[in-house]
């Protein structure tokens, strides 16, 4: 069973939230509230289903909401309503984090930090050949993160226009997934929903393309261990699940908002416990 988080809420409590549509599945509230409780930070974090981004941002200003997570489908749209956006978010082309500083709203992106820090827990990135399957919003952030850490990136994607566009934006090579067979790399990343529940038997590539000296990362976290990760683990690969990326992007958000060191292990355990209750 999920642990009960007891909060002392009064007029001095800082409010944080996540906005998206849909939002009922979000694990961000339980993760961030556990971090507030563990560190003694006087904050509370809620989830808001948002369709009208302009009105939501006006509400953030009007209510003095101190920090906001932004999820699908608002990561791009929200940018036009903010006062300032940092360089990483501009280059990625998406904001997943808003910081309210005395009424001025600053946009940032911690998704790339989530990916790189999850990888760096298990392997180095610098000077390694990285193949990423996917070219959507998550892939855009991950690709930026890989390049910022000195990795050599190749993008493989089903949709040609999307793949070519991201490859152009990042200055890397693109190949169509249907034709690609040369998976000679040190790090392989699945940045697509392939393998997500209920389609748990699907894999983005054939298992014979896996090599035992690879580190294999999957952004999917339901199931906790996708078929790709199971097959990779079976032949001796280092594996990194989607929970790790999700937790690390939340860790970066918590530290931006509060200035405190985030309790990574507490946040990870809370998310794993919540997933086990689903």
Residue 167's Cβ-count burial label (10 Å; 0-12, 13-18, 19+) is buried
Residues 152, 181 contacting (CB under 8 angstroms): no
SS3 107: strand
As a whole number of angstroms, the distance between CA 190 and CA 123 comes to 16
| Dihedral sign for Cα atoms in the order 41, 103, 16, 62 | positive
Residue 1 lies in a domain: no
Quick one: pLDDT at residue 277? 81
d(CA 222, CA 196): 6
Strands 43-49 vs 84-85: parallel, antiparallel or unpaired = unpaired
- Please give the pLDDT value at position 173: 97
Q: Looking at the structure, tell me whether residues 99 and 130 fall in a common domain.
A: no
Q: Chunked in runs of 10, what are the mean pLDDT values of the chain (278 residues)? A: 64 96 94 97 97 98 97 94 97 96 97 97 98 94 98 97 96 95 96 93 96 96 94 98 97 98 98 89
Task: Please report the pLDDT score of residue 1 as a whole number.
Answer: 43
Is 39 inside any structural domain? yes
* C-alpha span between 59 and 48 (Å, rounded): 11
81 within some domain: yes
* 248 touches 265 (CB < 8 A): no
**What are the DSSP E strand ranges found in 127-260?**
129-133, 152-157, 173-176, 187-190, 215-218, 238-240
Catalytic sites, residue numbers? 75
Same domain as 226, residue 209: yes
Quote the CA–CA distance of 245 and 242 in Å, as a whole number.
5
Pairing of strands 152-157, 173-176: parallel
- Residue 37 lies in domain: 14-109+244-277
Whether residue 70 is found in the same domain as residue 150 = no
Cβ–Cβ under 8 Å, residues 199 and 106: no
* Residues 102 and 122 both lie in one domain: no
Q: Are residues 226 and 248 in the same domain?
A: no
């Amino acid at each position: 069973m999920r642990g009960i988080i007891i909060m002392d809420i009064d007029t001095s409590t800082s409010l944080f939230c996540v906005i998206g549509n849909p939002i009922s599945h979000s694990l961000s509230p339980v993760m961030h509230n556990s971090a507030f409780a563990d560190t003694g930070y006087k904050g509370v974090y809620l989830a808001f289903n948002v369709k009208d981004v302009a009105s939501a941002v006006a509400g953030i200003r009007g209510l003095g909401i101190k920090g906001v997570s932004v999820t699908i489908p608002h990561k791009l749209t929200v940018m036009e309503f903010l006062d300032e956006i940092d360089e990483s978010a501009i280059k990625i082309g998406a904001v997943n984090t808003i910081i309210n500083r005395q009424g001025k709203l600053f946009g940032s992106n911690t998704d790339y930090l989530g990916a790189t820090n999850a990888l760096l827990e298990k392997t180095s990135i610098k000077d390694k050949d990285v193949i990423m399957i996917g070219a959507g919003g998550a892939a855009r952030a991950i690709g930026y993160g890989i390049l910022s850490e000195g990795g050599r990136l190749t993008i493989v994607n089903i949709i040609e226009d999307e793949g070519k566009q991201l490859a152009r934006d990042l200055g890397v090579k693109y190949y169509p997934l249907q034709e690609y067979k040369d998976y000679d790399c040190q790090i392989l990343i699945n940045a697509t929903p392939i393998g997500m529940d209920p389609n748990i038997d699907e894999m983005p590539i054939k298992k014979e393309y896996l090599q035992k000296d690879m580190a294999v990362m999957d952004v999917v976290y339901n199931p906790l261990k996708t078929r790709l990760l199971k097959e990779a683990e079976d032949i001796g690969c280092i594996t990194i699940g989607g929970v790790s990326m999700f937790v690390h992007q939340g860790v970066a958000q918590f530290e931006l908002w509060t200035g405190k060191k985030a309790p990574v292990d507490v946040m990870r355990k809370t998310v794993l416990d919540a997933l086990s209750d689903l």
